Structure 1
Amino acid sequence: MSTNATETLQFNCTTCPSECLLTVEVERDADGAVAEVRSVTGNSCPRGNRFAHQELTCSMRVLTTTVAVSGGDEALLPVRTAEAIPLALHAQAMALIRGLVVKAPIRMGDAVLENLLNTNINLIASMDIDPA
């Protein structure tokens, strides 16, 4: 006899501007963790199905923040991860990034920090900063 519970969730897919409202039926184990995604409806393309599965098993987001700049015409540099990283790593990544200081000049797309938390994803500059 299974102790798993079935639950229906609704959330928007964020992979494209359509933002389809997904209805997802999941089975949760006794600890409340998602044991299985049973069905996904409401998506107008296959990306919605992939997004729902990923969102419920390992949520991923692009991390955006700023880092301090040394010797530049701006004090802060906007940065982001080149790709989405697990949402569970964001607090740890922010703790690491908080102490980072980059030296000008910096060009948009430059890797500010390579292989962030061993994800093989770089933290990259989101704008140019010239020397002061």
Structure 2
Amino acid sequence: MSINAIETLQFNCTTCPSECLLTVEVERDADGAVVEVRSVAGNSCPRGDKFAHQELTCPMRVLTTTVAVSGGDETLLPVRTAEAIPLALHAQAMNLIRGLVVNAPIRMGDIMLEDLLGTNINLIASMDIDRVKVAN
């Protein structure tokens, strides 16, 4: 019978400008996976506790990158996920996005990919791009 290890971690909460220094006690199994977040201290609001639990069990981040544009006055369009997606999906998402080419015109907030990797979260445009004006 293996005994789980108890570990104390410290990291900053990034949910607000206060960036509280959290002290988190976790229990890990023999493979190093988090079994339980036992306690969270140092947070000045409830968001710190929620952040610590999420960061240690399923870290989430907004993915930002660029995609190629066809027929636009810019060649690259900055895009981002409309909400955070699991960090574990970022490499797979980048492989999908890498081949994406979008057609101008594009408006900020337009959906470039719906339901990215089955997350129910869209990839959206982060700026406007107009069509190239052709001179006569």
Please confirm whether the aligned pair reaches a TM-score higher than 0.5, indicating the same fold.
Answer: yes
Per the alignment, residue 105 of structure 2 pairs with 105
Note the C-alpha offset of 1:30: 1.1
Taking the aligned partners of 1:12 and 1:91, their CA distance within structure 2 comes to 24
Q: Unaligned regions of 5+ residues in structure 2, if any?
A: none
Per the alignment, residue 122 of structure 2 pairs with 122
Query: Which amino acid is 1:57 matched to?
Result: T
Per the alignment, residue 92 of structure 2 pairs with 92
Q: Cα RMSD (Å) of the superposition?
A: 0.8
In the TM superposition, 1:60-79 aligns within 5 A as: 60-79=60-79
Instruction: Find the structure with the greater CA-based Rg.
Output: 2
Per the alignment, residue 44 of structure 1 pairs with 44
Taking the aligned partners of 2:40 and 2:90, their CA distance within structure 1 comes to 27
Taking the aligned partners of 2:19 and 2:63, their CA distance within structure 1 comes to 20
Q: Unaligned regions of 5+ residues in structure 1, if any?
A: none
Taking the aligned partners of 2:116 and 2:25, their CA distance within structure 1 comes to 34
Query: Which amino acid is 1:5 matched to?
Result: A
Taking the aligned partners of 2:108 and 2:18, their CA distance within structure 1 comes to 29
Query: Which amino acid is 1:65 matched to?
Result: T
What SS does the corresponding residue of 1:127 show, helix, strand or coil? coil
What is the percentage of aligned positions where both structures have the same residue?
88
- 8 Å CA contact 2:2–2:30 kept in 1: the answer is no
Query: Which amino acid is 1:8 matched to?
Result: T
- Runs of 4+ displaced beyond 2 Å: none
Taking the aligned partners of 2:12 and 2:61, their CA distance within structure 1 comes to 14
Taking the aligned partners of 1:118 and 1:2, their CA distance within structure 2 comes to 37
Taking the aligned partners of 1:22 and 1:65, their CA distance within structure 2 comes to 30
Note the C-alpha offset of 1:113: 0.4
Query: Which amino acid is 2:5 matched to?
Result: A
Per the alignment, residue 82 of structure 2 pairs with 82
Aligned length, in residue pairs:
132
Per the alignment, residue 35 of structure 1 pairs with 35
